[in-house]
Amino acid sequence: MKRIGRALYLILAFVLLYLPIVYLAYFSFSSGKDMVRFQHFSWVHYQVLWSDKELLAIFLQTIILAILSSLIATAIGTCGAWGIFRLRGYRRKTMLVLNNVLMVAPDVIIGASFLICFTALGIGLGFFSVLLSHIAFSIPIVVLMVLPRLQDLDLTLIDAAQDLGAGRGVIFNQIVLPEIMPGILSGLFMALTYSLDDFAVTFFVTGNGFKTLSVEIYSRARQGINLEINALSTVMLLVVMLLAGGYLFLTRQHELALGARS
Amino acid sequence: MRSKSSFFIIPYVLWLLLFVVMPMILLAVNAFTNGQGQVSLVNLRAFLTNGACLKMMVNSFWYAVLITGLTLLISYPLALVIAHCRHQRVWLLLVILPTWINLLLKTYAFIGLLGQHGLINQALQLIGLAPRQLLFTKTAFVIVAAYIEIPFMVLPIYNSLHALDQQIIAAARDLGASSWQTFWRVVWPLTLPGVRAGVQAVFIPSLSLFMITRLIGGNKVITLGTAIEEYFLTTMNWHMGSMIGVILIVIMVLVLLATSGKEQNK
Amino acid sequence: MKIIELKHVTRQYPDGFTALHDLNLSLESGKFYSLLGPSGSGKTTILRLIAGFDQPTQGEILFNGRKINDLPAAQRPLNTVFQNYALFPHLNVFENIAFGLKVKKVPADQIQVKVDRMLSLVRLEGFGQRSVQELSGGQQQRVAIARALVNQPKVLLLDESLSALDKKLRKTMQFELRSIQKQLGITFIFVTHDQEEALAMSDEIFVLNEGRLQQSGSPSAIYDEPVNEFVARFIGDSNLLMGHMIRDFEVEFDNHRFECADAGIKPGEQVQVLLRPEDLSLVAPQQGKIVVEVLSQLFLGDHYEIWAKDDAGFNWLIHTVEKAPTKRCGLHFAPDAIHVMRLGESESEFDQRLSQYEDNEK
């Protein structure tokens, strides 16, 4: 009885969780123009999407922005984590608190304060200001992903490497880096999703020239239903599912390897 | 090693100064100056004497409470069920998956779902209720916001449930506690840190949502976030916008203190 | 030949804690040394100073007569086996052992030969491609030893290296370490808090407490002639009583006078007396030197551990191979089972006194 109750709740929760997403995808194949009645199966919205060069360009821009900003944020954040790791006492605490400001601050505040900042610094609004913002709000999550790895790092490994004659460069490249690599990668991954997912900050700091997918969807959605957006979201859904499947596959492999060891 | 590491940290420190410290200072400066650049409390006075502003603040707070409560109500049982499942990682991944789908797209889906002839109204018709205006209502806003926030509540709660020592539960049962008593006296208190983390992760964004209010709430719901967006991007009164920003930050800090205060006592 | 010397070495930390007080040690080449002491005694500090992970605040560390205080760890011709082994988790067994050689840019074919030789020395042939995480504790230990030894160090430092192993494995490894040391003929410095381990393996033991050297010497010398109460209590089980000297070769304790083997202490001086439990035996009441009443006895496999109380109220610990014959029995011990210790006598004073009256005997 209890088991059935649990299973029912689980199913209900996941139906609700996925209903909007499935609903979107479903109507992307309808030949109609609204999300009320499914007319008949058609690829027409995908064809429109494919020929919508503006939207495709925005899609591309969004991806480039995400890759660029997450790579830079990962580099800066990893160095920052290393710096914080080497600090002690109140300096370390201060740095961590400042690091976390952008983690807890609401998007609107980040967007508004960045807007003031860019204006004060005389930086024009456009691709560059958006890129800077995305790097800025991705850095703290990278630090938070890398820092625990550094703290878990067994310091006697560094002693051991030194004992065996390794210099600083060798120690960093061959001992520290492999150990914290999983942290760096998850930091990069988080930065990537932060950038792809952001709407509010971009909305504040983008001028008229540059648009990301989120901003574009917002302005189209304000004008009402447009099944071209459904087609786009279905494509994105597929990509995300592939990514998730890959992630699951990789961790499964990893776990199997770990299982064999223990 | 010291000199080298400080060289590496330069970009990070630069980031801290330019994108953390400076924006905070500039926001505060803007909030406490008037249009002529003089230091003044005119914005604060305007906010506190304007009934609409105060009402908006209280409303915004109230909506955040509603959204957080609804999210918690759905998420805790879900986390509990998942923690008892086989293939926990798969279920967890399925919870996280929707967060990878652009926020705008999910919100957009609700425009269709909640529409005059959307799925929800069709379902209501099936059970004999007349179709009604769902979109652009306060209820719709709360539901959609809760929907968006569920994964962020489930994760920390699941983590604390997962970290729970199963022997403790066995011990409680062994000492004669019923399953409800076990939950209420053992499981719930021990997972409270996860709940707090979840509440923090949901409450603060809920205060400042502005995109959902526009797309789903019509213009019926005005939150602190909506107000800031309006002052910054529509009426271009940055001073007033910054003032509301400062107030939002103050509320946020109070909430953080209120939800983490108990933990420090332990 | 002296290979390592510590001269007046003091290590004080910025917070004021002094880990080592004016310590002098000298180690000869080719011997197996143990640094023995409880946690916080400074034994690991000495190891870190010798290895180069830490520098003394005062004093000199000499290697082959050359001062090496400021020589980085990477350049010192000695290697360490760490307490938790510190194996690189992302490298396999072969790569772990080869690490030091690769860093020194040794050609690949030589690395192969040397690593293989090490693998067979520690009896891990065929384990080269294994992940270090799938090895047992004892195997990890061997990899750590091989990784250090492949660099052909003049001195091998071992930091509490056996403490993570279970008792049986520890015994095996003690034996193996000792045989590896004999085979290679290099100096081993073994840090441990386990007195049995130190006694079993060492040529010479340094007993440390609170950053000061208490006593050094061969295992038997330290066991039989502990210089003070700390050493007596720390190494082996003991019965310790207060007493005073009557004259040379006669001491009074426990309200009785006994013949003993110590001399050179002025009559009437208060002393501490140590009797090892295994030097005591239980006999018929009238045959013993003291009459005791047996309180408890435990059979521990190879001997009985007996607690017995005498008329003066002292509780004696006795190790015998036979059960106590009666509830009340006599306690017997030979004169040289009594070890007399002067209060506050340093190791050098002790050695001096010992040599004096031993000379007189001759």
Nearest-CA distance A254 → chain C (Å): 13
- My answer on whether A33 and A62 are in the same domain is no
In angstroms, the CA C210 to CA C82 distance is: 22
From chain A residues 172-191, the ones with a CB under 8 A of any chain B CB are: none
Q: CA of C79, closest CA in chain A: separation in Å?
A: 6
Dist. CA C238–CA C226, nearest whole Å: 11
* CATH number of the structural domain spanning residue A250: 1.10.3720.10
Q: Does any CB of chain A come closer than 8 Å to the CB of residue B207?
A: yes
User: What pTM value is reported for the model?
Assistant: 0.76
| Structural domain of C258 | 230-361
Q: What does the pLDDT average to over B65-88? A: 92
Residue C213 and residue C236 in one domain: no
Whole-number average pLDDT of chain B = 86
Q: How far is A174 from chain B (nearest CA, A)?
A: 17
For residue C154, which amino acid is it?
K
Q: Provide, as residue numbers in chain A, all residues whose Cβ is less than 8 Å from the Cβ of C104.
A: 165
Say if CB A228 and CB A217 are below 8 A apart: no
Amino acid (one-letter) located at C100? G
| Confidence check: pLDDT of B266 > 60 | no
Do A18 and A111 share a structural domain? no
**What band does B264 get if pLDDT is binned at 50, 70 and 90?**
very low
Return the minimum-mean-pLDDT range out of A3-7, A248-252, B91-95, C134-138. A248-252
More reliable by pLDDT, B179 or C12: C12
Which chains are adjacent to chain C, needing at least 3 Cβ pairs under 8 Å?
Answer: A
pLDDT score, position C118: 92
Q: What is the pLDDT of residue B261?
A: 57
How much is the pLDDT for B260?
76
Distance CA A227, CA A27 (A): 7
CB within 8 Å of C362: residues ≥ 6 apart: none
Whether residues C218 and C244 fall in one domain: no
The listed range with the strongest mean pLDDT (A65-74, A85-94, B248-257) is A65-74
For residues C89 and C121, membership in a common domain is answered with yes
CA distances from C190 to C36, C195, C205 (A): 8, 12, 9
Burial class (CB in 10 A: 0-12, 13-18, 19+), B252: buried
What's residue C324's pLDDT?
A: 84
Extended beta strands in chain C, E state: 2-12, 18-28, 32-36, 58-63, 66-67, 78-81, 155-159, 187-192, 204-209, 212-217, 239-247, 250-253, 256-259, 270-275, 281-283, 290-299, 304-310, 315-320, 328-332, 338-342
Please indicate, yes or no, whether residues C80 and C202 belong to a single structural domain of this protein: yes
B2: pLDDT confidence band, cut at 50, 70 and 90? very low
Predicted confidence at residue B35, as pLDDT, reads: 78
Residue B262: is its pLDDT beyond 60?
Answer: no
Considering the domain architecture, whether residues C286 and C210 belong to the same structural domain is answered as no
The mean pLDDT of chain A is: 87
Higher pLDDT, B6 or C331: C331
**Do residues C196 and C248 both lie within one domain?**
no
Query: Domain boundary residue among C176, C192, C224?
Result: C224
Tell whether A56 lies on the interface with B, counting CB pairs under 8 A. no
Same domain, C331 and C354: yes
What are φ and ψ of residue C108, in 5° steps? -60, -40
Burial zone of C80 (CB within 10 Å; 0-12 exposed, 13-18 middle, 19+ buried): buried
Helices (H), chain C: 43-51, 93-103, 108-121, 137-149, 167-184, 195-201, 219-224, 229-234, 347-361
Same domain, C44 and C101: yes
> How many residues in total does chain C contain?
362
Which position has the higher pLDDT, C26 or A39?
C26
What is the distance in angstroms between the CA of the first residue and the CA of the last residue of chain A?
37
Rg of chain C in Å (alpha carbons): 24
Contact residues, chain B, for A107 at CB < 8 Å? 205, 208, 225
**Does A162 contact C53 at a Cβ distance shorter than 8 Å?**
yes
Helix (H) or strand (E) holding B261: helix B238-265
In this complex, do A162 and C148 lie within 8 Å of one another by their Cβ atoms? Answer: no
Cβ A138 vs Cβ A195: under 8 Å: yes
- Do A37 and A70 fall into the same domain? no
Residues of C in contact with A163 (CB under 8 A): 51-53, 73-74, 79-80, 148
Residue among A194, A221, A135 at smallest CA distance from B102:
A194
Q: Do C82 and A156 touch (CB under 8 A)?
A: yes
Please identify among residues 32-51 of chain A the ones whose CB lies closer than 8 Å to any CB of chain B. 34-37
pLDDT of residue C360: 59
Number of A/C CB contacts below 8 angstroms equals 64
For C99, the closest chain A residue by CA position comes to A164
As for how many domains chain A has, the answer is 2
CATH code of B42-265, in short, is 1.10.3720.10
How many structural domains compose chain C? Answer: 2
Give yes or no for a contact between C222 and C235, defined as CB atoms under 8 angstroms apart: yes
Q: Which one of C208, C224, C240 terminates a domain?
A: C224
Query: Which chains border A (3 or more CB–CB pairs < 8 Å)?
Result: B, C
Contact A19 B97 (CB under 8 A): no
Q: Is residue A156 part of a domain?
A: yes
In this structure, what CATH number is given to the domain that contains residue C85? 3.40.50.300
Q: Identify which of B148, B242, B244, B245 has the alpha carbon closest to the alpha carbon of residue B201.
A: B148
Same domain? For A65 and A31 the reply is: no
Residue C220 shares a structural domain with residue C237: no
Pair (A25, A63) in one structural domain: no
Task: Give the pLDDT of residue B24.
Answer: 93
The nearest CA of chain A is from the CA of C288 a distance in Å of 56
Q: Is A6 on the interface with B (CB under 8 A)?
A: yes
For residue A204, give its domain range: 52-261
Quick one: C143 and C252 in the same domain? no
**How close A243 gets to chain B, by Cα (Å)?**
10
How big is the CA angle at C253 (ends C249 and C254), to the nearest 5 degrees? Answer: 145
Query: Which residue in C187, C179, C127, C125 sits closest to C158, CA to CA?
Result: C187
How far is the C-alpha of A197 from the C-alpha of C94, rounded, in Å?
Answer: 45
> Is B81 in contact with B183 (CB distance < 8 Å)?
no
pLDDT at C358: 65
The Cα C106–Cα C83 span in angstroms is 27
Query: Rounded to an integer, what distance in angstroms lies between the CA atom of residue A23 and that of residue A42?
Result: 16
Residue where a domain terminates, one of C205, C224, C243: C224
CB contact at 8 A, A102 and B219: no
Q: Mark yes or no for CB contact B210/A200 under 8 Å.
A: yes
The pLDDT tens digits of the residues spanning A174-202 come to 888 888 988 898 889 889 888 988 999 99
pLDDT of residue A64: 94
Interface probe for A, chosen from B88, B101, B103, B250 (most Cβ of A below 10 Å), is: B101
Question: Closest residue of C to A157, CA-based?
Answer: C86
Answer whether A260 sits within 8 Å of C53, measured CB to CB: no
Name the residue among B101, B210, B211 with its Cβ closest to that of A237: B101
* Of the partner residues A160, A170, A260, the one whose CB lies closest to the CB of residue C82: A160
If asked whether residues A38 and A137 sit together in one domain, one would say no
Q: Are residues C204 and C234 in the same domain?
A: no
- The ipTM value here is 0.85
**Environment class of A254 (CB within 10 Å of its CB; exposed 0-12, middle 13-18, buried 19+):** exposed
Q: Is residue A47 part of a domain?
A: no
Candidate from C82, C134, C147 with C-beta closest to A261: C134
CB B216 within 8 A of CB B144: yes
Cα–Cα distance between C358 and C362 in angstroms, integer?
Answer: 7
With residue B85 as reference, give the H or E element that holds it: none
pLDDT single digits (tens) B131-177:
788 888 888 999 999 999 999 999 999 999 988 888 888 888 778 78
CB A38 within 8 A of CB A27: yes
Within 8 A of A161 by CB-CB distance, chain C residues are 88, 99, 103
Which of B 47-76 lie inside 8 A of A, CB atoms? 74
A251 contacts chain B (CB < 8 A): yes
Kindly give the confidence (pLDDT) of every residue in chain C, 362 residues in length, as a single tens digit, with 9 standing for 90 and above.
789 999 999 999 888 889 999 999 999 999 999 999 998 899 999 999 999 888 999 999 999 989 999 888 888 889 999 888 888 888 899 999 999 898 888 999 999 999 999 999 888 999 999 998 889 988 999 999 999 999 999 999 999 888 878 888 888 888 989 999 999 999 999 999 988 889 989 999 999 999 999 999 999 989 988 888 899 889 888 899 999 999 888 899 988 889 988 888 888 889 999 999 999 988 888 888 889 999 998 988 888 999 999 888 899 999 998 888 888 889 999 998 898 888 877 777 787 877 776 665 54
| Contact flag A110-B8 (C-beta cutoff 8 Å) | no
Residue of A49, A108, A172 to mutate, testing the B interface (most B Cβ within 10 Å of its Cβ): A108
* Residue among B93, B100, B104 whose CB faces A199 most closely: B104
pLDDT (mean) for A36-54? 87
Residue B263 confidence (pLDDT) above 80: no
Q: Are C207 and C216 in contact (CB under 8 A)?
A: yes
CB-CB under 8 Å, C90 with A163: no
